[in-house]
Structure 1
């Protein structure tokens, strides 16, 4: 096959190392998602009357929720027998094994706790955070591309990638760059959500951005999974793999929220009070 018919991907996942310390593309892009996301979220929060201190707090909740959720999601959804038999391996997160659906659950729980602590409307918080979560997801999938992992099925398309460093699947053939597909989808979602917020800001109907995010993101995930190689052997015999099965309830949740927004499009302030209405005074 001519080299013009596919892209040879032979990127070193390690940027550089100093003794035992190594800096890898995945870790850098993962961290960048939080750094850039914090700056964008600060702009959003300040524009809507909140403080930079709120963003510092939510960032901490997000980091903990993302890492714990992603790790436990991988443990419970993809290889529970191994990890429950070897519980110490759960802590060895540097060896890989993070699940995006687990991260989603972890983030939802963390933000519920954050909302309760600061007495903020939960959906108001979710509507703003999904903007930066979409950007973070795009960067993480680029990290997967740099690691030559989560590869697609063989393809003869001109933009197919030959993942030279991936030895999990043989023979070496051009494959769908599904990491890039998911990254581009997440980045497009980020752009749309941010533009919607920029145009309407406090006038955004409660739940609209979150509903759009989970519906579109996980629908794209469900479809792109058909182009991926199975991540676990036991998934090979399944018509819908674990990633797709976990995406379906999130899509349904998104559709229900969008339906409710359509029926009753109400914009709220951070404390849950409808926009244009003064907060009610508590009775003595």
Structure 2
């Protein structure tokens, strides 16, 4: 039998700046959004153009509000509505954790709808570019969950080389499911979407990349849920499913529908080229 790994005692606070504590969890959100916007600037300029790099910068505020408000409200409504109904002020205590990806995804969708309407952009084409960057934040967020020692996995065989005992998970070895999710929902999904985004034939079909993201995330998350301990206040639901798996079902259906829709509709021509890129008259 191999020795079981003990969870490293990470400090969830990265650094103190006076009375302000900068946590790994917050840093993962900030870094994920900033890196995502940097990538989005490049993606929107690829043919067919869907926006300008300057508009991608403007989207930073919109997506930040969508992620934070949607993620928190999603957690409140999907996971512990009874508790927060009794303790409404606790909704503001985001430093204690409690963010829902599915709620954050809805928040980003609403932000994209309003943003593309405001600037008269093609919603699906813009969503395609945004979703390529989303797994960056997902992967970093799961690493932060691991550092916090939260959302650990189900009981694992002690013979598993990476089975780990978590401080709040009892004396049994568990799957480090946060790292499974970081590798699948984060790294693997990002590589698949990024490679697909390099193909012009795919970029010309608005909604296809967004559909790939929704379906890919639903599959990756549902798979990882088999190794992740369900939330203690929810446990297993109908058919032995978890809340995460149930919330992934409509995502999978929407993703597949989007890909079919994109394949059946005409190619997107994109925005006109900038004046500086247009050839001089008579050339």
Compute the TM-score of the two structures, normalised by the length of structure 1: 0.86
Give the gaps of 5 or more residues in structure 1: 272-284
Asked whether the 8 Å contact 1:160–1:175 carries over to 2, the reply is yes
* Whole-Å separation in 2 of the counterparts to 1:220 and 1:196: 17
In structure 2, relative to structure 1, the CA distance for the partners of 1:190 and 1:265 (3 Å cut) is farther
Select between 173-182 and 144-153 the one with higher mean Cα deviation. 173-182
Residue of structure 1 in register with 2:149 after alignment: 148
Counterparts of residues 35-74 of structure 1 (less than 5 Å) = 35-48=34-47, 49=49, 50-74=51-75
The alignment's C-alpha RMSD in Å is 2.1
Compute the TM-score of the two structures, normalised by the length of structure 2: 0.86
Residue of structure 2 in register with 1:124 after alignment: 125
* Whole-Å separation in 2 of the counterparts to 1:201 and 1:18: 49
* Whole-Å separation in 1 of the counterparts to 2:69 and 2:262: 31
Residue of structure 2 in register with 1:33 after alignment: 32
Give 1:53 shift: 2.1
Give the gaps of 5 or more residues in structure 2: 273-283
Tell me the SS of whatever aligns to 2:16. strand
In structure 2, relative to structure 1, the CA distance for the partners of 1:173 and 1:262 (3 Å cut) is same
In structure 2, relative to structure 1, the CA distance for the partners of 1:215 and 1:202 (3 Å cut) is closer
Residue of structure 2 in register with 1:22 after alignment: 21
Give 1:35 shift: 1.3
Give 1:93 shift: 1.6
Residue of structure 1 in register with 2:165 after alignment: 162
Q: How far does the alpha carbon of each residue in 1:1-29 deviate from its partner, in whole angstroms, 9 at most, with x for none?
A: 643x5464332222232443222222212
Asked whether the 8 Å contact 1:69–1:102 carries over to 2, the reply is yes
* Whole-Å separation in 1 of the counterparts to 2:63 and 2:180: 25
Q: How far does the alpha carbon of each residue in 1:191-213 deviate from its partner, in whole angstroms, 9 at most, with x for none?
A: 12112222328843221111110
Count how many residue pairs are aligned between Structure 1 and Structure 2: 266
Give 1:270 shift: 5.1
